[in-house]
Structure 1
Amino acid sequence: MGAVLAVAATPAPDTVARSVSVQNNDPLIHFHGRWDPAPETWWGSTGFKLHVQDLSSLTLNLGNHTTSPTVQLGVSVNYGPFNTVNVSAGTNEIPLIVSSDETDDAKLPATSVVRINVPGWQDNRLELENIVLNPGAKLLPYTPSDIHFQFIGDSLSAGGQYLPQIVDQAWTFLTPENFKAEHLINAQPGIALSDIDAYGNVHGMSYQYFVTEDTQYYYTDYHNYTTPWNFARDQPPATHVVIHIGANDSGNNPSLTRPQTYLEFLSRLRTLYHTQPFFIFTPWGWPQPDGSISYYYPGQYETIVATRHALGDRNTFLVNTTGWVTLEDVFPGNMHPTVDGHIKIAGLFQEWLENWGLHPLSAWATPA
């Protein structure tokens, strides 16, 4: 019997399509807000945007420094409403909801824009390891809007502790959505402008704004320090700066020299934003059951703006919010705006901006 000739088997072609892994330093991820080098998030509304061709699934792999047991995300697909998704350290598949109807399973278009942010002012740490897309997907450049708002404030700008979707339902978030604009929001409940300890914030905004971390760093065992923020990372740079702050200065130390503190803050901001308009909100106050409204620092915001004008800065503007908020617009127990109250404030500010000369864009810069 002759020898059997062994024939080597020809390897079968690799027919298994592979998922697309996007590393956390990929230049096509459009980061916004304040990320440390890990990268991990600080400040509510920090997040990223993805422009993807042939998208059908998206998974986030998150590191152990992600808030435990979960961190709340806001997720918007193709500029639709932001939906709440809770994620944790490890692998997280992100639902790609294309309308407000959670049963909607409509097919995504050829290219999609996914916007993801952390809306909370605390428990808001997201450690991004990598992003996994479906086989055949391709990450594309994201083109940001020509309008880029920077908001600076306290709980009245952060959504406070009271809105289900936190900053994603605040006027500071709704305004840029209405304008089809980018945004940065540096707002923290309880924070004063003066660098004082106020309601658990160990620093005031006059310090905290210029560092990467929000005031929760103080309570973070593995990151209980601050690092200077590199404002060159804010891309594109802010085109309009909006400031609404002072309630917690008044609540902690009414004798503080309010105009001087604010003027020094504006002078420092001008070293970063040389020509951008500054919009200085007056307090809308605390509505009372008898119909009256209690205001803090009456007349001082007008003095601040007048002083900037006297110094030659004609690009600082007073936004007089008197009458914008009534008792019907706030939670009666804490006098912070409700969801509908924030919608009202965003609408009134949009009206103010349009009268000033800024109008909503007709379309988002990156089409979906």
Structure 2
Amino acid sequence: MLGYSFVTLALACIALAQSSIVIPYGNPYLYLNGRWDETDTSWWTGTGFKLVAKNLKEMTVYLGALTSQPASVGVSVNYGAWQTVNLTAGANAVPLDGLNSSPLSTNVIRVANEGWQNNNIQLEAVEINGDAVPEVYTPSPVNFQFIGDSLSAGQYCVQGVINAWNFVTAENFKAEHSIQAQPGVCLTDIECWGNIHGQSYEFFQAEDDGYYNDAKHNYTTPWNFARDLPATHVVIHIGANDASTQYNISEPSFLSTYETFVTELRVLYPTQPFFIFTPWGWPAPDGTVGYYYTSPSPYVQLIENRNALGDYNIFLVNTTGWVSWADVFPTNQHPTEEGHVKIAAQFSTWLTEWGLFPQTSWATPAV
């Protein structure tokens, strides 16, 4: 939670003009999720912010020069469908179709980066109409931490990560989420399909691997996990790039890296359940599916080794058979938008059978 105390809230500076209210970055009325660096700039797909206000009629987002040109974001009004809006440096009037019309009604606006690249928004302030009444966003008690590669970043989908299975799963459960997923990334800390680092390194940084090609910010800074809303569940789906013929990381080597990674994650998340996905594979037109890391499975071995250490709060999610040729783009075998919805439905069913059920309502209702 990039949040603040109620004392800070009471002392927060909100510039009131006759016709508008300007809420600056860092104000508790802007609830930030995901990862933001020391320049108030977002990184990683799915990063964004929420704003809650009564009598809301209009919203303008002010962005600085470090903003991607453009940065595509999804905007959801009152938990409705996500609409794509392209933002650029300067003032951006954001369409808010679907607002509650009553002055006493609460409106919830959610903004999230869609892209795994060109996803930097340097947030300076948000301006709303002067007779609006901003309120503090209350996050859901369920907060997923997702870790992965292109298969979790919504690569090739129309709305990027917003179409991805993990984002859809969080929506299904009326949950918060943080998504550290980067196309082409290996778990192993090697240069992989243009990513200078692997997830075993990059996950612990504020910046995603796109930093390397960013002339304005070509460095990483360690992420301060105290800024996060504490995760309640950790979900990892990774290994496709390690196993590729291009890099061909052996099963023992991959397992060793995964064990070290999970050990480091346990320091951050000592009591949270970990859900480890097996590969759903690469479907082919003839109906077969090419699986990787199967004999022996480092995913199964990881669970067994953690159990042997006394860690029984780690669970294997067997995704065999979840994805078929009909669920992927034929040119790259990545899930289509519909394929991601199918995967989210499969995982949602798995979670309910495990014992996690969707929230009956959002913690901050739009009423």
TM-score w.r.t. the length of structure 2 is 0.92
Q: What SS class does the counterpart of residue 201 from structure 1 fall into?
A: coil
User: How many residue pairs get matched?
Assistant: 344
Within the candidate set 96, 110, 113, 1:118 is matched to 113
| CA distances 1:164-210 after superposition (whole Å, capped 9, x unpaired) | 10000000100010000001000000000000001110000000000
Q: Which residue of 1 aligns with 2:234?
A: 241
Conservation of the 8 A alpha-carbon contact between 2:276 and 2:317 = yes
| CA distances 1:297-327 after superposition (whole Å, capped 9, x unpaired) | 1122111111111111000000000000000
Find the aligned partners of 1:97 and 1:190 in 2 and give their Cα distance: 36
Conservation of the 8 A alpha-carbon contact between 1:44 and 1:120 = yes
Pick closer, same or farther for the CA change 1:106–1:48 going to 2, 3 Å.
closer
Question: Residue 262 in 1 paired to residue 234 in 2?
Answer: no
1:17 deviates by 3.4
Find the aligned partners of 2:249 and 2:84 in 1 and give their Cα distance: 42
The residue type equivalent to 1:76 in the other structure is S
The residue type equivalent to 1:72 in the other structure is S
Q: What SS class does the counterpart of residue 127 from structure 2 fall into?
A: strand
Question: Residue 290 in 1 paired to residue 281 in 2?
Answer: no
The residue type equivalent to 2:157 in the other structure is L
Conservation of the 8 A alpha-carbon contact between 1:61 and 1:131 = yes
Q: What SS class does the counterpart of residue 309 from structure 1 fall into?
A: helix
Find the aligned partners of 1:30 and 1:38 in 2 and give their Cα distance: 17
Identical residues among aligned pairs (%): 54
Question: Residue 138 in 1 paired to residue 136 in 2?
Answer: no
Q: Which residue of 2 aligns with 1:6?
A: none
Question: Residue 338 in 1 paired to residue 332 in 2?
Answer: no
Conservation of the 8 A alpha-carbon contact between 1:56 and 1:108 = no
| CA distances 1:274-297 after superposition (whole Å, capped 9, x unpaired) | 010000000000011222111111
Within the candidate set 211, 218, 225, 1:217 is matched to 211
Structure 2 gaps of 5+ residues are: 1-16
Conservation of the 8 A alpha-carbon contact between 1:55 and 1:108 = no
Question: Residue 180 in 1 paired to residue 174 in 2?
Answer: yes
Conservation of the 8 A alpha-carbon contact between 2:100 and 2:107 = no
Find the aligned partners of 2:312 and 2:95 in 1 and give their Cα distance: 47
RMSD: 1.2
Pick closer, same or farther for the CA change 1:170–1:108 going to 2, 3 Å.
farther
1:106 deviates by 6.7
1:107 deviates by 2.8
Matches within 5 A, 1:83-162: 83-98=83-98, 107=101, 110-160=105-155, 162=156
Q: What SS class does the counterpart of residue 303 from structure 2 fall into?
A: helix
| CA distances 1:16-61 after superposition (whole Å, capped 9, x unpaired) | 9321011111022110000012210100000011111110000001
The residue type equivalent to 1:321 in the other structure is T
Conservation of the 8 A alpha-carbon contact between 1:191 and 1:203 = yes
Q: Which residue of 1 aligns with 2:358?
A: 360
Q: What SS class does the counterpart of residue 280 from structure 1 fall into?
A: strand
Q: Which residue of 2 aligns with 1:42?
A: 43
Q: Which residue of 2 aligns with 1:273?
A: 269
Structure 1 gaps of 5+ residues are: 1-15, 99-104
Question: Residue 199 in 1 paired to residue 193 in 2?
Answer: yes
1:108 deviates by 6.1
Q: Which residue of 1 aligns with 2:300?
A: 302
Compare 108-117 and 50-59 and name the one that shifted more.
108-117
TM-score w.r.t. the length of structure 1 is 0.92
| CA distances 1:51-109 after superposition (whole Å, capped 9, x unpaired) | 111100000011111112x11010001000110011111111100021xxxxxx87366
Conservation of the 8 A alpha-carbon contact between 1:19 and 1:136 = yes
| CA distances 1:238-266 after superposition (whole Å, capped 9, x unpaired) | 00000000000011322431111100100
Compare 347-356 and 287-296 and name the one that shifted more.
287-296
